[in-house]
Amino acid sequence: MAGKIAFRIALVVLSTAVLQRGLFSQLRIGGVTADVFLLLAVVGGLVAGPDRGAIMGFLSGLTLDLLLQSPLGLTALTYCVVGFVSGRYQLSVTRSSRARLMLSTGVGSAMGYGMLVVVGWVLGQHNMLTDRLPGVLLVVGTANALLAPLAVRVLRWAWAQPAPRSFGMSYGA
């Protein structure tokens, strides 16, 4: 069973890489693209808990690091923390709904990207902190919020978790 889950997770991460580079890099709003790797980290924590969220964040961040010209591990470290924090947040939520999922994903994505910028700045990537940052946070947060319900279904399949009877019942672990 663990091998099957590992294969599914790898398939999701590789498919996300193809979507990020092939589709979402072409769909720009104000010169900004969605960050579906960050979406995997946030929703991974919300769906599967802090440990699996951290794993999903690390894998998606490391894959993005390999695609970009940033220091190796910068995005992996940040997205790992984002996935863990998202999972911890979900543990404290008593009632879940589609609206809360989308809001949590949007806010978590904006905060996660902001954290990436701060960590990058501390590590010498001063070009990440620009005057366009508020617009980037808005676009990334909104795009990820809209894609969250689809990401939940994909990650439930990848982690072999049964879907709840109704979406409003619970999206967390």
What the block records as the tokens of 160 is: 């072999």
Residue 53: inside a domain, yes or no? yes
Residue 44: inside a domain, yes or no? yes
Query: Over pLDDT 90: what percentage of the chain?
Result: 73
Query: Over pLDDT 70: what percentage of the chain?
Result: 93
* Cα 142 to Cα 121: distance, rounded to the nearest angstrom: 24
Residue 167: inside a domain, yes or no? no
pLDDT computed for residue 169 by the predictor: 44
More confident residue, 163 or 107: 107
C-alpha angle with apex 64: 112 to 4, nearest 5 degrees? 100
Lowest mean pLDDT among 1-5, 62-66, 115-119: 1-5
Residue 86: inside a domain, yes or no? yes
pLDDT computed for residue 171 by the predictor: 53
Q: What are phi and psi of 70, to 5 degrees?
A: -100, 165
pLDDT higher than threshold 90 for residue 8:
yes
Helix (H, G, I), strand (E, B) or coil at 53: helix
C-alpha angle with apex 73: 72 to 77, nearest 5 degrees? 165
- Mean pLDDT computed over 88-106: 86
Residue 49: inside a domain, yes or no? yes
Q: What are phi and psi of 32, to 5 degrees?
A: -115, 140
pLDDT computed for residue 128 by the predictor: 86
Residue 170: inside a domain, yes or no? no
* Cα 80 to Cα 59: distance, rounded to the nearest angstrom: 8
* Cα 119 to Cα 172: distance, rounded to the nearest angstrom: 28
Q: What is the CATH number of the domain that holds 45?
A: 1.10.1760
Residue 169: inside a domain, yes or no? no
Q: For residue 105, what are the domain limits? A: 2-158
pLDDT band at 168; cut points 50, 70, 90: very low
Residue 74: inside a domain, yes or no? yes
pLDDT band at 106; cut points 50, 70, 90: very high
pLDDT computed for residue 96 by the predictor: 75
**Total number of domains in the chain:** 1
Choose the most confident range, by mean pLDDT, from 18-32, 49-63, 94-108, 152-166: 49-63
